Chains A and B, each alone.
Chain A
Amino acid sequence: MLAPEAELKRLMLAGLDGDAAAHRALLTQLGGYLRAYCRRQLARVGRSAADAEDLVQEVLLAIHTRRHTYDPVEPLTPWVHAIARYKLIDHLRRTRTSLSNVPIDDVAELVAQEDHDSTESSLDLGRLLGQLPERTRRVIECVKLEGLSVAETASRYGLSESNVKVSVHRGLKALAAAIAREQQR
């Protein structure tokens, strides 16, 4: 039932070791499953595909910023499913809908279908980044958008490398929080 598990887990483990290509491939594949999953779940409460895309992005961001909580001895799919389910319930609570029955054991449902026909989410990265503190925003732009290395970014702004890493990590988490705030309105 969990057919893609082996491949997804291989990509995840490589990503945990710092393999960017594997990490990107993982997020792309998971994005497909998550899109189908979120659309299916949100359709049950009459919500649109654009809402689903918001949720897909939230879950991907959570998977990325919380990937240190994955236990490599465990299968990956239940871990992703638990994050998706948690973010789904949280999203519905924030947007004042309730979905009483999302079974936690229904792990197979996460990878039941894929959907790579993405729409644009309502989230505006530029505006979200604008909510971050100046330095955090600049560091994220360098490391995550322009693709400058941590060392280059550090020397550009006169920061230590560990400082840059911490800023990136905090910045991505702040981004997730900014998305949550935006949806609450």
Chain B
Amino acid sequence: MKTDDLIAMLGTNVEPIDRKYVFRAVGAAIAVGTLVAVAAMLLALGFRTDLTTTRAFIFLFSKLAFTIVTVILTAIMLTKLARPGGERRISLGWVALPFAAIVLLAAINLVLAPSARWQTMVVGDQWLECLLSIPIIAVAPFAVIIWAVRRMAPTDLRRTGALAGLIAGSVSATAYAFHCMDDSLPFVALWYGGTIVLCTAAGGVLGPRLLRW
């Protein structure tokens, strides 16, 4: 085949392109992923029952602040990383910011508390449920995000996969927060942060397989 023939073919009936495609598609994928994750949480686990108390409300709010800030920050990065050469334009250090913040708050919290309470604060009641639920619920948003990014053109598949895993984990943690009754910052830092990191690692492993184009 002559290259001129290929160019003639590609240059015939050129369709206009939506310039905001990547932003729309990433936004839509995260919105759909969040809906699916919340639905899965409601069906499998249900809402926490004590939301009438101020304390529960404050803790739900702080969990959501952590997970939602992470989702927004990483979503912005994905709109760059999903494009060719995007890895040159982002510094992934920003992603660590919400994690550093929650670990710092958790540490302050621990220092101020009597050491006899440390174990309860860190391990909580439902650490196993948290450890299992967040990665399992994350599968759905991960699939949706990967499906969307496959229509784009990332050139650093490992990092893009990891970022997709990180977003999916954070979306899942957002949904799980509505169920979770373990109200302590060290618990959130360890089990939310830890499971999200786990999802990130899984995404990094799967990225090169799933995102090739």
Contacts and interface: CB of A to CB of B under 8 A. Distances in A.
A143 B12 contact: yes
B16 A70 contact: no
Interface stretch (B35-43, B49-57, B77-85, B111-119): B77-85
A51 interface: no
Contacts of B209: none
| B4, B8, B22, B213: residue with the most chain A Cβ atoms closer than 10 Å | B213
Contact of B1 (A15, A69, A123): A123
B14 A19 contact: yes
B168 interface: no
Contacts of B182: none
A16 to B, nearest CB: 5
Nearest to A13: B19
Nearest to A145: B9
Contacts of B2: 118, 120-121
Interface of B is mostly: loop
Given A64-B10, A125-B1, A79 B84 contact: yes
A17 B16 contact: yes
Given A16-B16, A18-B15, A18-B16, A71 B5 contact: no
Contact of A82 (B6, B9, B152, B155): B155
B187 to A, nearest CB: 40
B96 interface: no
B12 A71 contact: no
Contacts of B3: 31, 35, 53, 56-57, 60, 118, 121
Contact of A83 (B10, B21, B153): B153
Given A16-B19, A121-B1, A147 B13 contact: yes
Contacts of B13: 20, 143-144, 147-150, 168
Nearest to B5: A125
Interface in B132-156: 152-153, 155
A23 B21 contact: no
Contacts of B84: 66, 69, 79-80, 82-83, 86
Interface residues of B, number: 35
B131 to A, nearest CB: 36
B89 to A, nearest CB: 8
B128 interface: no
Contact of A24 (B1, B11, B86, B212): B11
Contacts of A169: 15
Contacts of B87: 104
A120 B11 contact: no
Contacts of B9: 125, 144-145
Given A20-B11, A118-B4, 18 more contacts: A17-B17, A23-B10, A28-B4, A60-B3, A61-B6, A66-B152, A68-B17, A69-B21, A79-B83, A82-B85, A82-B88, A118-B3, A120-B2, A121-B1, A147-B12, A147-B13, A165-B15, A168-B15
Interface of B: 1-19, 21-22, 80, 82-89, 152-153, 155, 212-213
19 contacts: A16-B16, A16-B19, A20-B14, A24-B7, A60-B10, A68-B22, A69-B21, A69-B82, A86-B84, A121-B3, A123-B1, A125-B9, A144-B9, A144-B13, A147-B12, A147-B13, A148-B13, A168-B13, A168-B15
